[in-house]
Structure 1
Amino acid sequence: MRHQPREGYEMPKWEYFITPLPVHTPGQILNNWGAKGWELVQIVQHEQGGSVAYMKRQIVEDAS
């Protein structure tokens, strides 16, 4: 059974972004993206070394 949203409620829409994280400055990279409205979803470390961050931010549609 699918959940039906309340009448008049619109589900939020998201855009996603994946970025590599440098070993020496991951916090700086994440803070820069956070200042632009991106939220961290997950960090994945690769077997070959290095990490990538999965980011998302809500798409705000103009109501006009």
Structure 2
Amino acid sequence: MTTWEYLTTPLVIHNTAAILNSWGKKGWELVQVVPGPEGGLVAYFKRPVGAQSDSNAGLAAAAEASRRFEGEQQ
């Protein structure tokens, strides 16, 4: 049975394709895009556990994207 890991990240409207392509190259599959709780969009991704040798890379990149998004909202 496949086990999954998940990632959520804000999407910056003017750079959506680049963000989605970047995560796709890292093995993440887009599952859904929904409105964020404070505006904007949030993307939900999944990939099989162990699909990437550095599983923390996605978490670090998501945290950085979140910081940038929050900075733009202020």
Instruction: Normalising by structure 2, report the TM-score.
Output: 0.62
Point out 4+ residue stretches in structure 1 off by more than 3 angstroms: none
Q: How large is the Cα RMSD of the aligned pairs?
A: 1.7
Paired with 1:27 and 1:45, the residues of 2 have a C-alpha distance of 17
Instruction: Normalising by structure 1, report the TM-score.
Output: 0.71
Per-residue CA distance 1:26-64 (angstroms, 9 max, x = gap): 111000000000000000013642000000000148xxx
Structure 2 regions of 5+ residues with no counterpart? Answer: 52-74
Tell which structure's C-alpha radius of gyration is larger.
1
Which has more helix, going by share of residues? 2
Structure 1 regions of 5+ residues with no counterpart? Answer: 1-10
